[in-house]
Amino acid sequence: MSGRALIETGADAITRWIARLYFEVSYRVLAGTAGREFLHAASDRDEPAVHGYATALDIQALVEALHPLRGETLLDLGCGNGEVAITIHRRTGCRVIGIDAARRAVTEARRRAANVGVQRSVRFLVGDLGSPPTGASAAYALDSLMFARRPAHVLASVSHSLEPPGRVFVTFVDHRGLDRRAFARLIEGTELRLESLDDVTPELDARSRKRASVARRTIRARRSPAGGLGLLLVLAEETAVMQLIRRGRLRRWRFTTIRADTSSSPS
Ligand SMILES: C[S@@+](CC[C@H](N)C(=O)[O-])C[C@H]1O[C@@H](n2cnc3c(N)ncnc32)[C@H](O)[C@@H]1O
């Protein structure tokens, strides 16, 4: 390995380690009263109260892309606090297995599922995106795949672990400047085929604005500093996201892939 490649690999590993630490901390600090108040206030009534960026539009697009049926099993890759998995189960009757590398996220997800009595149908495991359990019919990864070292390879191996046609629905925040063609090429370098690809950056922008404004309001309204750290973290993150979008350096994509060796025709 060349010196430059070694440095890049090291920098990549450090970045992923920091992201992992960030998630553990943020799930911990947002599990308190202030954090829950914030997540609830920052989501519309028909949206899951998530740490990530999933909106009602994502849930709608996911259900339309994967058509989950009652009794089928879906994988939620990078499930976070479990709200998306619970929402999908309630809407469609399918079973969901959520996987996340952050222990705290899985603890919170299990607590939420038990609270609403769906813990038999919606299960959560600590694990890596690249090593999903088998037996599912389709999968989704909402704003998690970009944290994998080789997202396209993870996508391909997940796809092969599913029943044909191995459909995977993804939302992906990119900071590497992939445009539509480069993005499509990235997927085409694997054994996958793109069924759909949409630039949904304006949705990310709107969501960030709302979360920043709710975080500011919640910080001001609280008389005690308890929970303030979590909200300051949210505010810093959303401010950075809005700046990067404004400079054209951050985009959010929504896409669906299937295995190229299956006969399903594109929608
Ligand atoms: C931005 S959050 C999104 C969470 C959830 N999908 C949502 O929409 O609310 C990204 C999640 O991906 C998880 N994650 C990142 N890299 C992962 C990996 N290699 N394996 C499993 N989970 C991972 C993080 O722990 C975090 O919970």
27 lines ligand 1 (CB under 6 A): no
Nearest 10 degrees: Cα torsion 63, 68, 73, 76: -10
Query: Domain for residue 42, yes or no?
Result: yes
Residue 222 near residue 34 (C-beta atoms within 8 A): yes
Find out whether the beta carbon of 80 lies less than 6 Å from any atom of ligand 1: yes
Angle at 88 between CA 85 and CA 89, to 5 degrees: 85
**147 belongs to a structural domain:** yes
Q: Is 210 a member of any domain?
A: no
Count the domains in the chain.
1
Residue 97 lies in a domain: yes
Which CATH number is 128's domain given? 3.40.50.150
Is 154 domain-assigned?
A: yes
84 Cα: distance to centroid of ligand 1 (angstroms): 12
Averaged pLDDT, groups of 10, the chain, 267 residues long: 74 81 83 82 81 89 96 96 95 97 94 96 96 94 93 92 95 89 81 93 94 88 67 90 95 94 60
Instruction: Determine whether the shortest distance from the Cβ of 172 to ligand 1 is under 6 A.
Output: no
Location of structure tokens 């996220």: 105
pTM over 0.75: yes
Which structural domain, as residue segments, surrounds residue 40? 3-204+243-259
Question: Among 18, 58, 144, which is best to mutate for testing ligand 1, by the most ligand atoms less than 8 A from CB?
Answer: 144
Contact (CB, 8 A) for 96 and 73: yes
According to the model, what pLDDT value does residue 110 have? 97
**Encoded amino acid at 169, one letter:** F
Query: Radius of gyration (Cα) for the chain, nearest Å?
Result: 18
- Looking at the domain assignment, is residue 110 inside a domain? yes
The token pair at 143 is: 């704003």
The reported pLDDT for the residue numbered 159 is 94
Residues sharing a CB contact under 8 Å with residue 166, sequence separation 6 or more, in sequence order = 138, 158, 159, 160, 257, 258, 259, 262
**Model confidence over 236-249: pLDDT tens digits?**
999 999 999 999 99
In a domain, 230, yes or no: no
